[in-house]
Amino acid sequence: MLDQMHRMAVFKAVMDAGSFRGAAKVLGLSPSVVSHHVSQLEDHLGFALLYRTTRRISLTDAGAELLESARRMTEAAEAGLGAMSRRREQPEGRLRITLPSGSVHPMFQGYHVRLAAAFPKLHLTMHFGDNLVDLEGSRYDLAFRGSFRGLADSSYKARRVYRQDLWLAASAEYVAERGMPKTLDDLEGWDWIESPEGVSLKYLLENPPDRLPHMPVRASMDSVIMGSAFCEAGLGVFPTVRSALISLVREGRLVRLLPDVPLKPVELHAVWPANVGPDSPVHQVVDYAVEHLQSYTDSLV
The CATH number given to whatever domain includes residue 8 is: 1.10.10.10
The set of residues, in sequence order, having a beta carbon less than 8 Å from that of 140 and lying 6+ positions away, is 96, 97, 98, 127, 133
CATH of the domain at 122: 3.40.190.10
Boundary (domain end) residue, out of 71, 89, 107: 89
Encode pLDDT of 176-206 as tens digits.
Answer: 999 999 999 999 999 999 987 888 999 899 9
84 and 149 housed in the same domain: no
∠ CA 100-103-104, rounded to 5°: 120
Top pLDDT among 148 and 233 is at: 233
Q: What average pLDDT does the segment 155-167 reach?
A: 89
Distance CA 20, CA 13 (A): 9
Residue 163 · residue 265 · CB < 8 Å: yes
130 and 273 housed in the same domain: yes
3-class DSSP assignment, residue 140: coil
Strand pairing class (142-147; 122-128): unpaired
Domain count, the chain: 3
Q: How does residue 89 score in pLDDT terms, banded at 50, 70 and 90?
A: confident
> What residues make up the domain containing 141?
93-164+266-299
133 and 271 housed in the same domain: yes
CA end-to-end span of the chain: 62
E strands, 33-188, are: 50-52, 57-59, 93-99, 122-128, 142-147, 157-164, 166-171
36 and 76 housed in the same domain: yes
Encode pLDDT of 9-30 as tens digits.
Answer: 998 998 888 888 888 998 898 9
Structural element, H or E, at residue 170? strand 166-171
Res 86 pLDDT > 60: no
Distance CA 166, CA 130 (A): 18
250 and 211 housed in the same domain: yes
129 and 73 housed in the same domain: no
State the DSSP code for 52: E
Encode pLDDT of 28-68 as tens digits.
Answer: 989 899 888 999 988 998 989 888 876 788 888 998 899 89
